[in-house]
Amino acid sequence: CKSVKGSVRYMAHLDNPDKAQYEIKDIVGYNGFDVMAQIRTATDRYVMISEMADYIESNDIIEFADLFNYARLNRFDDWFPLLCDNSAFIMGQFIKSKRHRLSKE
């Protein structure tokens, strides 16, 4: 096994549409192993970051806590892990910039 991510993708045949396609949710991870984290691509992350930015804009979010709580309660399987693991800084900066712009107006 050279790549854990590759192994997970192989188990579900994600990269081979000619083989039977298995549900990722049916793959069981043990000892805290996060199967979903292994199949997310950089593109998936950027799409979700863009979705969060759209949510921030359309709901006039000016505090990170509001985004965090929305993700925790409504987007637990996609946005929330992303915020917890590696995107809190960029989203916090985006919100901070919005808030700063509003204070100038």
Residue of 103 and 59 predicted with greater confidence: 59
Place of tokens 């549409």: 17
Per-residue pLDDT at 87: 93
Per-residue pLDDT at 42: 67
**Do the beta carbons of residue 83 and residue 73 sit within 8 Å?**
no
**pLDDT higher than threshold 70 for residue 83:** yes
Per-residue pLDDT at 1: 60
Domain ranges of the chain: 4-39, 42-104
C-alpha 56/C-alpha 97 separation (Å) is 12
**pLDDT higher than threshold 90 for residue 59:** yes
pLDDT band per the 50, 70, 90 thresholds, residue 73: very high
